Amino acid sequence: MDHFLYRRNRLHAEDVPLEIIAERVKTPLYVYATATIERHYQVFAEAFADLPATICYAVKANSNIAVIRTLARMGAGADVVSGGELRAALAAGVPGERIVYSGVGKTADEMAAALRAGVMQINVESEPELEALDAVARSTGHRARVAIRINPDVDANTHAKISTGRSENKFGIEWTGAHRVYARAAAMPGIAVIGAAVHIGSQLTDLAPYRTAFQRLRDLVAMLRADGHRIDVLDLGGGLGIPYGSENAPVPTPAAYAEVVRSAIGDLDCRFVLEPGRMLVGNAGVLLTRVLYVKEGATRTFVVVDAAMNDLVRPAMYGAYHAIVPVAEPPAGTLVREVDVVGPVCETSDTFATDRPLPPVVAGDLLALRGAGAYGAVMASTYNVRPLVPEVLVSGDRFAVIRPRLSVEDILGRERIPGWMRDDERALAPAGGEP
């Protein structure tokens, strides 16, 4: 369910016509619906209401502090994977004791910052990281609360670039080596092991891999407890998929996912940490873009828009599908034709859709790329010296810019010409002008 609906033949975000936002903020831009974020969190929380679970929003999905704050106000914690995300979560009002610090390559400075913030736990992904964290904790006078991330060697049946639970992936410690690593951690004065963590991938549309991973985790907990280790927390990661509009089968509901957790490991007397990201914010956002040209090629028709792969990289990076709809609803019975929707970046991969059925459009028309609330703005770049697009949050009949557009002047103003090139400046200046 989302809150982007046609009213009086115009697409709205909650009670605000998208045309009005596009006119005032200019395209391309992201628009998020508060009601959708809140609704998705509520549904997820209700699914786990009878379990001792802490929901920590995976900030990497969308790190805008207004989005994080929307969830924090409902009780969500945060799952962060960098020092920047930690600062964003804290700035958004998430208390340290509700933050999980994950990630495979934490630096000593990031570890120290996490300890100073009093995070709930740090998920350790390797033995060298464990050693480094022990040293940092001792040097700063802390004892780090740790969950060791286990790689269960489970294929999540998702895109290869977002699968994280197979033995060939860089994440976690092989589950067969857990005995040795937990024993080593128990002997470190700066480490307090409180549990285990697992995360097998993103955009999962089948619950079977979860069942397999959780059963392996259950067996591991029994073995670790037999070795004398306290396992009080099980961090189950996230990864629950959302419908982008191209799947043949519906994605699992949070209630169905919760039932897998309940039946597989619900009786282990552990507190659960859950880290949904895409599921909470993915369908809460659209990328608004305006048609620049309709180009009739020899064999294809190209709809050239002002958004590009630097604004939304998922189609170029993953071959991802995003539903594309006109902001002005076409009359019933309007014929469609297959077109390619492309951006202005000088890459063939700057293509949002190929052979996509769309009603006729002309220059100036607005299109909305749906399901863009996760891994959209957060993965954007300034490729081709294109400014980062703004983000807008809607609540009822109100909207606010929550990240202004980054201008070309902003980009160039952060760059510097080295001293040895300054002798060239006068020679390169126009005749009679200042260098």
Catalytic residue IDs: 346
Q: For residue 248, give every residue at least 6 positions away whose Cβ sits within 8 Å of its Cβ, in sequence order, or none.
A: none
Q: Using CB atoms within 10 A of its CB, is residue 254 exposed (0-12), middle (13-18) or buried (19+)?
A: buried
d(CA 251, CA 63): 24
Q: Is the bond leading into 315 cis (omega within 30 degrees of zero)?
A: no
Do 109 and 136 touch, CB atoms closer than 8 A? no
Within 99-228, residue ranges assigned H as helices are 108-117, 127-140, 178-186, 208-226
d(CA 72, CA 49): 17
Residue type, 315: P
Residue type, 280: L
Do 282 and 60 touch, CB atoms closer than 8 A? no
The continuous run of DSSP H or E covering 255 comes out as helix 254-265
Q: Nearest CA to 77 among 211, 231, 218, 271?
A: 271
The continuous run of DSSP H or E covering 316 comes out as helix 314-318
